[in-house]
Amino acid sequence: MSIEKFNILESTCVPLPVENVDTDQIIPARFLKATSREGFGENLFRDWRYDKDNNPKPDFVLNNSQYSGQILVAGKNFGSGSSREHAAWAIFDYGFGAVVSSFFADIFKNNALNNGLLPVQVTEEFLAKVFEAVKKDAAAKLKIDLKKQEVTLLSTGETCDFEINGYKKTCLLNGYDDIDFLLSKKDKILAFELTQNGS
């Protein structure tokens, strides 16, 4: 099995300058009843996107045709709260390939990486510049280069490095899958179990 490869992503952005966006906002609990992974994008940010009669709320960014692209840019502590992987599925399913923020919650970060959605953690200053650039010109683009671990604001040429652990980077660049990797370690796992039972 494999996941989609990630190399370079160059795209316009969808700005969401809100802090502490929790996974309950990304995908509310009432949409977690499905037993497959598909179709969550439809309900991405459901309660921010639609009013209670299911009419799109014009002031929400996903309903603003000015903004589009494969990169979601959000305020700090993105993805906090519930461990629901459905949040990563919803963002990916909607069409995003990366989320840029100055801080990510741990579980969300793992979930995103496990689905080929790249969490790009940048400095507060860089994030502020991206928001500013996109505000000025909705066509402003970001270029995310995974190999170089670098994100560039193309309109100004400013860059920012980002961290990713070496293992996950290799997985994403090559489309490797964690479970295949773990299964290749079966001997070690069985040996470990023997030491546990003996103790």
Partner 1 sequence: MEAKTLFDKIWDGHVVDSVENGPDILYIDQHYIHEVTSPQAFTGLENRGIPLFRPDKTLATVDHNIPTQNQHLPIREELSRLQVATLKDNCERHSVKLYGLTHPFNGIVHVIGAELGITQPGMTLVCGDSHTSTHGAFGAIAFGIGTSEVEMVFASQCILQPKPKRMRISINGNLNKGVIAKDIILYIISKISASGATGYFVEYAGDTITSLSMEARMTICNMSIEMGARGGMIAPDEVTFDYINGREFAPQGEAWDQAVENWKKLKTDEGAVFDKELDLKAEDIHPMITYGTNPGMGISVNEAIPALESLPAVEQESFKKSLNYMGFEPGSKLLGHPVDYVFLGSCTNGRIEDFRVFASLVKGKKKADNVTAWLVPGSWQVEKQAREEGLDVILKAAGFELRQPGCSACLAMNDDKVPAGKYAVSTSNRNFEGRQGPGARTLLASPLTAAAAAITGKITNPADLM
Q: List interacting residues with partner 1 (CB under 8 A).
A: 1, 17-20, 22, 24-25, 28-30, 32-37, 47, 52, 75-77, 80-86, 88, 103-107, 110-111, 114-115, 124, 165-168, 178-179, 181-183, 185-186, 188-189, 192-193, 196
Q: Give the shortest CB-51-to-partner 1 separation in angstroms.
A: 10
Q: CB of 187: closest distance to partner 1 in angstroms?
A: 10
Measured from the CB atom, the residue of 33 and 65 that comes closer to partner 1 is 33
DSSP state of 162: -
Rounded least distance, CB 111 to partner 1, Å: 4
Choose between 8 and 167: whose C-beta lies nearer to partner 1. Answer: 167
Angle (CA) 129-134-137 rounded to 5° is: 125
145 near 151, Cβ under 8 Å?
Answer: yes
Among candidate residues 49, 112, 102, 105, the one with its CA nearest the CA of residue 73:
102
Q: And the tokens for 75?
A: 């305020």
Q: Is the dihedral of CA 97, 101, 105, 110 positive or negative?
A: positive
Minimum distance of partner 1 from residue 112's CB (angstroms)? 9
C-beta of 143 vs 168, nearer to partner 1: 168
Cβ at position 153, least distance to partner 1 in Å: 19
Q: Which helix (H) or strand (E) holds 171?
A: helix 166-174
DSSP 22-65: BHHHHS-GGG---SSSTTGGGGTTHHHHB-TTSPBPTTSGGG-T
CB of 133 to partner 1, least distance (A): 17
Residue 105 vs 153, nearer CB to partner 1: 105
Sheet of 98-101, strands arranged across: 118-121, 98-101, 71-74, 8-16, 141-145, 150-153, 158-161
